[in-house]
């Protein structure tokens, strides 16, 4: 399926790439808002493969609990009698993306045995410098970076990584660095981290606004159903799922074989059930806390977006961790993770 919209975000990222590396960029937004799809579109279709080499690390599907896991994500072991740069050149003939930094087997074993990031980062820097000499601009992308937030190696690994990224961008201007996350508490910690002040910037990939959502429905209806939707059908879909790209896609894809009303009612019933069971568990665990949670969730009965400070930190963070709410720390506001969650809140409470 053709990629839809996001030209504003694409142009912003392409403009960043055309300039000198200066900041670490955090791409954030609610769950299923299209962050990874955006990155994949840029990597696959918008970059000049003769100019850029992208090192893309997807952390979402990998269990990370120790240093060895982290190293295995970063590196791609090989045993051929080639230099790492030659391996990279053979990989990027057709696509400008590498899923792991090539490393000879003996070097990888040495990096694993020493259990220090110093040698790891030194090795990576040498690869990046070699690419620069070849006239290539290296780009590092870490998808769902928060997965290593609690990992420790002589202190928290994430802080060593941040320091390294500052060196690559702000100090050496060697490599562009982008990190994505759906975890808004992680983004809040980044936003308030003193060591990153003046060294990072943020790109919000939010759910579509209503106008864009309705256009997306038109686009999908022609692509999937080979027909046009009525204004009434589009308004109905939006009233249930809002501008969540993944939810809109799910609805229209199911319209191939199910009635629209049935699709939407079932999706809402499922969301209502999840919220009811969630609140039941909270009540069983601590009834007083449950009353507070219900009280503050009730703020969303009349409003989709509220100021973050209207909900106490303990309850705010609890609801964000449970993926009930999404926090935008830059704008200082909270909203349900989706329109479906919002509709469930209004019905359950």
The predicted pLDDT at position 152 comes to: 52
Ramachandran category for residue 242: left, alpha or beta (phi over 0 → left; psi -120 to 50 → alpha): left
pLDDT band at 56 (very low <50, low <70, confident <90, very high): very high
β-strand partners of 103: 77
**CA 74 to chain centroid:** 18
Q: What does the pLDDT read at residue 96?
A: 66
Q: Residue 214 has what pLDDT?
A: 97
Q: Which helix (H) or strand (E) holds 102?
A: strand 101-104
* 196-209 burial code (b ≥16 CB/10 A, e <16): beebbebbbbbbbe
Q: Kindly report which listed range (42-56, 76-90, 160-174) carries the lowest average pLDDT score.
A: 76-90
pLDDT digits (tens, 9 = 90+) for 179-236: 999 999 999 988 998 889 999 999 999 999 999 999 999 999 999 999 999 999 999 9
Q: What is the pLDDT of residues 26-52, one digit of tens each?
A: 999 999 999 999 999 999 899 988 899
Pairing type for strands 52-58 and 200-204 reads unpaired
Residue 23 in this model has a pLDDT that exceeds 60: yes
CA-based diameter of the chain, in Å? Answer: 66
C-alpha 151/C-alpha 64 separation (Å) is: 8
Cross-strand partners of 49: none
Query: Can you give 173-241 as a three-state secondary structure string?
Result: CCCEEEEEECCHHHHHHHHCCHHHCCCEEEEECCCCCHHHHHHHHHHHHHHHHCCCCCHHHHHHHHHHH
Give the CA angle between residues 251, 252, 254 to the nearest 5°: 70
Overall fold of domain 277-349: Arc Repressor Mutant, subunit A (1.10.10)
Please state, rounded to an integer, the average pLDDT across all residues of the chain. 90
Domain ranges of the chain: 7-204, 208-257, 277-349
Of the segments 46-50, 117-121, 134-138, 220-224, which one has the largest average pLDDT value?
220-224
User: Does the pLDDT at position 94 exceed 70?
Assistant: no
User: If one looks up domain 7-204 in CATH, what number appears?
Assistant: 3.40.50.300
Taking the C-alpha atoms of residue 196 and residue 199, their distance in angstroms, rounded to an integer, is 5
Q: Per DSSP, what are the bridge partners of residue 324?
A: none
Q: What is the Cα–Cα distance from 35 to 38, expressed in whole angstroms? A: 5
Contact between 35 and 182 (Cβ < 8 Å) = yes
How confident is the model over 1-13, as pLDDT tens digits? 678 889 999 999 9
Q: In the β-sheet with 176-181, what is the strand arrangement from edge to edge?
A: 97-98, 52-58, 137-143, 176-181, 24-28, 200-204
Q: 127, 141, 183: which is closest to 24 by C-alpha?
A: 141
DSSP states of 70-87: HHHHHEEEE-SSS-HHHH
Reply yes or no on whether the pLDDT at 155 is more than 60: no
Predicted TM-score (pTM) above 0.85: yes
Residue 175 pLDDT greater than 60, yes or no: yes
Are residues 33 and 209 in contact, defined by beta-carbon separation less than 8 angstroms? no
| Of residues 77 and 141, more confidently modeled | 141
Q: What is the pLDDT of residue 169?
A: 97
State residue 223's pLDDT score.
95
């Amino acid at each position: 399926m053709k990629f839809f919209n996001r030209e504003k975000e694409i142009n912003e990222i392409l403009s960043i790439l055309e300039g000198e590396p200066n900041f670490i960029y955090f791409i954030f937004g609610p769950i299923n808002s299209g962050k990874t799809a955006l990155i994949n579109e840029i990597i696959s279709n918008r970059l000049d493969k003769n100019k850029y080499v992208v090192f893309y690390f997807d952390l979402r599907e990998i269990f990370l609990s120790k240093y060895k896991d982290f190293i295995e994500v970063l590196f791609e072991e090989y045993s051929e009698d080639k230099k790492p740069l030659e391996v990279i050149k053979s990989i990027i003939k057709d696509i400008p993306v590498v899923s792991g930094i090539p490393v000879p087997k003996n070097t990888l074993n040495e990096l694993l045995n020493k259990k220090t990031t110093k040698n790891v980062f030194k090795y990576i820097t040498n690869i990046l410098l070699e690419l620069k000499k070849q006239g290539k601009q290296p780009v590092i992308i870490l998808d769902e970076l928060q997965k290593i937030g609690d990992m420790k190696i002589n202190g928290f690994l994430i802080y060593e990584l941040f320091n390294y990224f500052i060196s690559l961008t702000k100090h050496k201007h060697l490599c562009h660095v982008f990190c994505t996350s759906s975890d808004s508490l992680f983004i809040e910690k980044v936003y308030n981290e003193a060591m990153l002040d003046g060294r990072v910037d943020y790109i919000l990939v939010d759910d579509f606004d209503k106008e864009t959502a309705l256009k997306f429905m038109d686009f999908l209806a022609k692509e999937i159903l080979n027909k046009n939707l009525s204004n009434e059908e589009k308004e109905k879909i939006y009233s249930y799922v809002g501008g969540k790209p993944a939810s809109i896609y799910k609805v229209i894809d199911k319209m191939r074989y199910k009635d629209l009303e049935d699709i939407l009612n079932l999706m809402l019933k499922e969301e209502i059930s999840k919220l009811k069971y969630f609140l039941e568990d909270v009540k069983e665990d601590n009834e007083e806390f449950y009353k507070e949670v219900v009280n503050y969730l009730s703020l969303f009965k009349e409003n989709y977006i509220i100021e973050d400070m209207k909900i106490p930190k303990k309850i705010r963070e609890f609801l964000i961790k449970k993926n009930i709410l999404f926090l935008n720390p830059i704008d200082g506001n909270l909203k349900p993770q989706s329109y479906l969650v919002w509709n469930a809140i209004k019905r359950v409470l």
